[in-house]
Structure 1
Amino acid sequence: MAIDTYALPVIRYPSGKIKRTEEIIKKTTIAIRKLLTMHGAIHPKSDITRLYLGRKDGGRGLRSVQQTVKEKEQSIKAYAASMATSDKLLAEFRSDALTIELRPDDEKIDWHMKPLDGACHRQVFKVGDLYQTYMWLNKGNLTANTESVIITAQEPVLPTRQLQTKIYHTRDDPRCRLCKDSPELAACIQHIIRGCKQLAGNTYTERHNNVAGVVFRSLHDEYGINKPQDWWNGPGKVNENDRAKFLWDFYIQTDKHV
């Protein structure tokens, strides 16, 4: 937002009047990405195409310098064309090349179809709601560094041990650093987020309870059951009134072992 608000207008305003070569535009674009990388907002190996996609589509929403320059040039040419009939000077300025290609949709498709970068997106597309999935990008309540880490994990280019072994060739053993059992998979880092035995008894349970706590509080509001005032206080084992009963982290005896 800061780049779009403060930096790009400086480039946008003289565009169409001052000629900028493709080389200068490219250097400026690289300089912006370099600064963002230095401050941890972009991973060095993150997908560039996704950086310029809209946030509702799973991108970072950054406007490119090239698009900014071309949009301004196009608007000037369009204005010249509309006024050419009444202004001789603008008639001479008018250019026949009024159509200009901005960011094409096929780039978006290319990102989705990339074997690694688009793998997580394709999995979500099969079973989930993309709008809800990428809502966290639209909310804007995360730091750029946190946002970068999440997207890096989705693409996936986090330095898992399998990635270091198979792609970077900087390690000989691809096995998990915690359980020493399964490899730390690169594709959507499945092992780390759901398959490590060392994390199963505590970290996974805590993550599950954090999500369940949101459901717990919503249902308690709906059924009029008192809940803890502070979000970090967990619910009791049994919460009930004359309308409903909620059991939290409760052992249930079944006929067969589950």
Structure 2
Amino acid sequence: MDDLKLYGRNSDQLDGLLHTVRTFSDDIQMKFGLDKCAVAHFVNGRLSGHNSGVTVGKTDTINCLEPGQVYKYLGVDESNGIQHSMMRERLRREYLRRVKVVLRTELYGRNKILAINGFALPVLTYGFGVIHWGCTDLQQLDRRTRKLLSMHGVHHPAADVDRLYAPCSDGGRGLQQIESTYQSCIVRLNCYLADSSDPFMQMIRECDSGKSLHSIKRMACRFTAQLRRSLALDDKSQNLHRNASISVEGGFEQAPKTDARHYRTCCSSLRVRSWSGKPMHGQYRRLTEQPPVDMKETYGWLKAANLPAATEGLVVAAQDQALRTRYYERKILHRDVSPTCRMCSVGLETVDHIVAGCSALAPTDYTDRHNQVASIIHWDVCRHFGVPVESRWYRHHPDRLVETDDITMMWDTTIPTARKIKANRPDICLRNRKTNTCLLIDISCPADGNIGKKHAEKLAKYSDLRVEISRMWHCRTLVVPVVLGALGTVHAGIARWLDIIPGHHNLQHLQKTVLLGSTRILRKVMSSF
């Protein structure tokens, strides 16, 4: 730091200290920023005016503070003490200003969250432990942040709040909650104060009056106790928190430095479990916890940062079952409307029905979404074998037949067989004469709860065709199912199947294509009357 504060019993002692600092400054060629310097005279704990400033050198003068004025030290306004209310208001305005600046940008949804965490939140965290914040003030800032996110389409108003603050690896959005960040900072600061071996910190602990360091200690103990009460902990977690707790009466304990990390981990666990336990919002989370879903890959798109903010917010709201479908209006809002689908007038209009179960959308929108995913795989295979294609996959229009010296690839073509086989038209049939193999690739984007059933169905559907091709072409034939849920759910074995297909296939790219197709369908249906 380059800020320096000098304390003297009187003006003469202060002049001596200032002379010493000026001598060292001249030796290292450092100049004072006199416009940022000030002298404060305190009498009986109150700031008193002084007619003349303090002379530094021959001509330089440092002015004195008048009653009502403040000086800034390390970014904090002070007078006879820290001006807490003034600093809270200034930090609040600056934090909200930065949040608005981030939300007005064209960043992707994930990058906006990261920008808020890295650009706006540090305005507040810099003063945590120094500036006094009440829980109500922090909760109001969190609510204001969520409101701004909703106004800019990043967060759906009816989407789950716990999920917004949960880690991306667990399916959350990764936004740092201000209140829990404050509590974590207090716990970490307390651990540092209790465990620091610095001799100056030991002097401070010995001379502390009980109003500053111990107040941090009491807050840390209270936050830890609140977290322990909120969690239904097993024996192992109980031991973890018992070791991380701090006794108020016993002075500063030698608390391990891992306490703050444990605190943050348990806060994240609490949010995930709270989200998972909700009857409506937690349905998708509970689904991803069940086999055959690969939870890590399912939530991979949240960390990829490749979807617009409004699209990401819509996908999360759809997964949370928070969109105002007719079924939602009837069962949740208790409005007198028919819960049947406005497109097919047959099934109940739920989110799953719209994205994967409507008979009126199947011939058009579902087919387009399916073909886009299949065309990416076709494009990657063509590039792998050196077949001339467009530079961008979305400009690629697969040919019915692609043939080179080594391969023959058929797109959505009926394969003639000696005996009659009902399922004889896979999405892609790739015959490699060099390796004497044949791949029957079929793509599906079912409802997220049906990916396991659809995966088994694809394997059984083309089993007869696989046997017949092996007999006719005398090659090893394999059925390759590529099953992705309409809202991004990933089958546990999909990475292994994609590795079998020649070329470099990006799973998150396929996920993104499915999600964009599903959001297009949702916007189309929700905007129709």
1:198-237 alignment, distance < 5 Å:
198-231=360-393, 232-237=395-400
Residue-by-residue CA offset, 1:99-133 (whole Å, 9 max, x unaligned): 66441513312322322222223333322222221
For the 8 Å contact 1:83–1:90, the answer to whether it is kept is no
Q: Closer, same or farther in 2 for the Cα pair 1:79/1:132, shift >3 Å?
A: same
* Alignment partner of 1:152 is 2:317: yes
Name 1:64's counterpart in structure 2. Answer: 177
Q: Secondary structure at the match of 2:303?
A: helix
Match of 1:108 among 252, 257, 272: 272
Match of 2:194 among 81, 90, 94: 81
For the 8 Å contact 2:159–2:322, the answer to whether it is kept is yes
TM-score of the superposed pair, with normalisation by structure 1: 0.89
For the 8 Å contact 2:281–2:320, the answer to whether it is kept is yes
Q: Secondary structure at the match of 2:182?
A: helix
Name 1:24's counterpart in structure 2. Answer: 137
* Alignment partner of 1:12 is 2:125: yes
* Alignment partner of 1:132 is 2:294: no
For the 8 Å contact 1:213–1:234, the answer to whether it is kept is yes
Per the TM alignment, residue 90 of structure 1 is displaced from its structure 2 partner at its CA by 2.9
Per the TM alignment, residue 183 of structure 1 is displaced from its structure 2 partner at its CA by 1.4
Larger C-alpha radius of gyration, 1 or 2? 2
Q: Which moved more, 1:3-12 or 1:90-99?
A: 90-99
Bigger strand share: 2
5+ residue gaps, structure 1: none
Residue-by-residue CA offset, 1:74-111 (whole Å, 9 max, x unaligned): 23222221337732223433537456644151331232
Match of 2:406 among 214, 224, 243: 243
Residue-by-residue CA offset, 1:44-81 (whole Å, 9 max, x unaligned): 11111100011121111100101221232223222221
Per the TM alignment, residue 25 of structure 1 is displaced from its structure 2 partner at its CA by 1.2
5+ residue gaps, structure 2: 1-113, 222-245, 247-258, 424-529
Name 2:65's counterpart in structure 1. Answer: none
For the 8 Å contact 1:162–1:184, the answer to whether it is kept is yes
Residue-by-residue CA offset, 1:189-213 (whole Å, 9 max, x unaligned): 2211122121111111111111111
Distance 1:236 1:199 in 2: 25
For the 8 Å contact 1:41–1:147, the answer to whether it is kept is yes
Name 2:283's counterpart in structure 1. Answer: 119
Distance 1:40 1:210 in 2: 26
For the 8 Å contact 2:165–2:174, the answer to whether it is kept is yes
The residue identity in structure 1 corresponding to 2:143 is: I
Distance 2:323 2:392 in 1: 35
Distance 1:106 1:146 in 2: 27
Distance 1:88 1:230 in 2: 66
Distance 1:37 1:245 in 2: 51
Q: Closer, same or farther in 2 for the Cα pair 1:211/1:104, shift >3 Å?
A: closer
Distance 2:392 2:146 in 1: 41
Q: Which moved more, 1:8-17 or 1:116-125?
A: 116-125
Q: Closer, same or farther in 2 for the Cα pair 1:45/1:35, shift >3 Å?
A: same
Distance 2:384 2:135 in 1: 59
TM-score of the superposed pair, with normalisation by structure 2: 0.45
Q: Secondary structure at the match of 1:198?
A: coil
For the 8 Å contact 2:166–2:271, the answer to whether it is kept is no
